[in-house]
Structure 1
């Protein structure tokens, strides 16, 4: 049994990870300020929380320095998922705020971990493919990204810069304290439970629009040609558990598929799942972000024995059904 802290543990990734870790017999603590996460995401099939909330869940704001010290003093491993991120509209309209908040969140957590060098056995930091240089993501001719291409650094967004700075400070943590680290750079994660409101990311936003159509128009931001390497949350949880087992001490590892899927393809699949006759409108006045990207996951395969397993078709069907159920429950 390991004693593990998961920051951001009530979010989409965090709640799925916590359930997996608890199921494997670990004692799990959570810090989450519930900006996007929800307490009910931590419930099992019977509706009961998978951890004792009164002693293992902490509604705290990691922007406050030292606030995690007491909890980190009780654990052996820290998996740091917490950050400020949302859909592309939010990211590009709040760049200064996102950059500052993520810098503080990451630095505060890492500083707290430093205080317990003798008791912390491993630190996992979650980065993002948004930290790769814009020059490697500004063409539709996609060559899978490799970890060694991170520098010279030129992320497109403040979000990508803030996460890259967190990676750098994580590397300093290992170098200066000897605490073994693992940095997993996630590509575009989707799945449930998730936010499907105004701050949601592309897949849940399109699913919501398909479900509500024609009351809500099916507008797709950008040309639809822009693409991403979409990865299901179940595959992400597998990667995190494998990193805890054998990824510590191996630095940066990319987690994502080698296939780049266009937003137009996603929109078309969502329409097909809906069974409706939906006319998609591509709003080219809206931001697209990076043109396209995919992952060379050979390092993940070699070190973690990881590769994507959930097909996009199965993942989209599952997420569509989950969001539809949530929306029906709200009406009731």
Structure 2
């Protein structure tokens, strides 16, 4: 018999892929999602059938409201907390106060439900942090030195999103000490893959893929100079890390999940154009924000503790996501 596992944000890109993997491995999986960005259809298998019983195992809950998730948390062995408010850079920097407020509420309510359930009920809690929580001073140069977990403090994230996720990590540490419930924080770098939001609130890769698919009806504009870079990691590698964490990630503090290579947005844009097979003019809009200059991960800790390292080649992952977005646009008959 498998474990009873709750995945918050289980209808998003990461969550839906994780749910399918956990179900396949014989676990009894419960999902909480308010469907702000996720979709129920993301939980469907190849035949179009949901991999969980939506009547008994899916809960449309707003986690920013207190006590709403008690009834689910009290019924599971493990909680994997993915849910948060995040979108593309324009949304993140245009809604910082509200985003900070909501993410702190979401985190503290989930943690409080786990606290009330207690160690006798909940065997472990995995929280997902972000590389955005690392200090701006370590991400404001194009001369990239891979980030290490011990560099997280003194804290100076650039965005409210990074601050809100960091507050979650700190609160989780207090919860672990207070209750004795084993905890794990995985700090993700820039995750891409499918299924995904590719509309107005989408992040850089799906947004650029959408523009390439729609070109020339939609211009292929890139926000910023294109020199800014990120450590892009495919969702399949992320799911593998989460499953490994369930097995052996407990009580090891913060663990980064991402590659040691920093890839520029310019390279991403050019690779997407190559995959499209179109003669696309790339326009860089330097009036738009581009966030942190560059970052990558020293994933030594993940490799040592979890036995994890990235496996999906970037171009292979981009090609897979391009085909998925293209199929969705063709299916809908219009832009999202």
Fold-level match, TM-score > 0.5? yes
Deviation at 1:80, TM superposition (A): 0.1
TM-score by length of structure 2 reads 0.98
Q: Distance in 1 between matches of 2:294 and 2:169?
A: 22
The 2-side partners of 1:196 and 1:68 are apart by 29
Shift in Å, 1:225? 0.1
Q: RMSD across aligned C-alpha pairs, in angstroms?
A: 0.6
Question: Alpha-carbon deviation of 1:331?
Answer: 1.4
Of 285, 307, 315, the residue aligned with 2:287 is 285
The equivalent position to 1:220 in structure 2, one of 219, 222, 235, is 222
Counterpart of 2:314?
312
Partner Cα separation in structure 2 for residue 275 and residue 45 of structure 1: 28
Q: Offset of 1:251 from its aligned partner?
A: 1.3
Question: 2-side partners of 1:314 and 1:172: how far apart?
Answer: 40
Gaps of at least 5 residues in structure 1 are none
Corresponding residue number in structure 1 for 2:115: 114
The DSSP-based 3-state class of the residue aligned with 2:102 is: helix
Residue 17 (structure 1) aligns with: 18
SS at match of 1:119: coil
- In the alignment, structure 1 residue 134 sits paired with structure 2 residue 154: no
Partner in structure 2 of residue 183 of structure 1:
185
Q: How many residues align?
A: 332
Which residue of structure 1 lines up, in the alignment, with residue 165 of structure 2?
A: 163
Matched, 1:238 2:240: yes
5+ long unaligned stretches in structure 2: none
Query: Helix, strand or coil: the match of 1:90?
Result: helix
CA displacement at 1:292 relative to structure 2: 0.1
Cα deviation for residue 116 of structure 1 reads: 1.3
1:148 maps to 2:150: yes
1: distance between equivalents of 2:133 and 2:65? 25
Structure 1-normalised TM-score? 0.99
Secondary structure at 1:115 match in 2? helix
1:53 maps to what in 2? 54
> How many Å separate the matches in 2 of 1:180 and 1:159?
25
Question: SS at the partner of 1:270?
Answer: helix
Find out whether 1:33 has 2:34 as its counterpart: yes
Partner of 1:237: helix, strand, or coil?
helix
**Separation of aligned partners in 2, 1:161 and 1:141:** 24
Query: Structure 1 residue 87: deviation in Å?
Result: 0.2
Cα distance per residue 1:4-37 (max 9 Å; x no partner): 0000000000000000000000000000000000
Distance in 2 separating the partners of 1:328 and 1:165: 41
Output aligned runs, 1:225-304, within 5 Å.
225-304=227-306
**In 2, Cα distance between the equivalents of 1:203 and 1:71?**
34
Q: 2: CA distance between counterparts of 1:207 and 1:263? A: 12
Q: CA deviation at 1:106?
A: 0.2
Instruction: Tell me how far 1:211 sits from its aligned partner.
Output: 0.7
CA distance in 1 between counterparts of 2:194 and 2:85 reads 18
Runs of 4+ aligned structure 1 residues displaced above 6 Å come to: none
Distance in 2 (alpha carbons) for counterparts of 1:212 and 1:6: 34
The aligned counterpart of 1:91 is: 92
Separation in structure 2 between the aligned mates of residue 62 and residue 318 of structure 1, nearest angstrom: 32
